Amino acid sequence: MGNRHLLTTGMTRGAIALALLVGASLDAAAGDATAGAPLATKCEACHGLDGLSKIPEAPNLAGQNEQYLVKQLTAFKTGERQNEQMSVVAPTLTEKEILDLAAYYSGIEIKVGKIPGQ
């Protein structure tokens, strides 16, 4: 039983260390919302500086999950995801600009005013 406990404890410590390492690398890759604010002028016509869609075809970005925004912007940049407007804007963005825009839009606080049926 003693060896089994040592093995389990060692594995648990390894898992914790790995989780801390991964978490640290995600924080290091986090964007800067302040730097993203002026970049959002490129997005303003469709998504608005406030992150609320200005046209029916564009999604709201305010309060969206940061990692989701990074993934989608990267997909538009690489061509994995296609959209006429995004195909013009996204390829010009650097990795840092994508991170900064994602931090900016995800950091916008949204409030729910009324929920249908309640």
Q: What is the pLDDT of residues 81-117, one digit of tens each?
A: 999 999 999 999 999 999 999 999 999 999 888 888 8
Query: What pLDDT does 19 receive?
Result: 47
CA distances from 84 to 26, 67, 78, 79, 94 (A): 31, 23, 14, 11, 19
Asked if the 31-106 domain carries CATH number 3.40.50.1580, the reply is no
Of the candidates 69, 65, 99, the residue with the CA atom closest to the CA atom of residue 81: 69
Query: What pLDDT does 18 receive?
Result: 46
Asked whether the beta carbons of 91 and 77 are under 8 A apart, the reply is yes
How far, in Å, CA of 56 to CA of 10, rounded? 54
pTM exceeds 0.85 for this model: no
Cβ atoms < 10 Å from Cβ of 96: 14
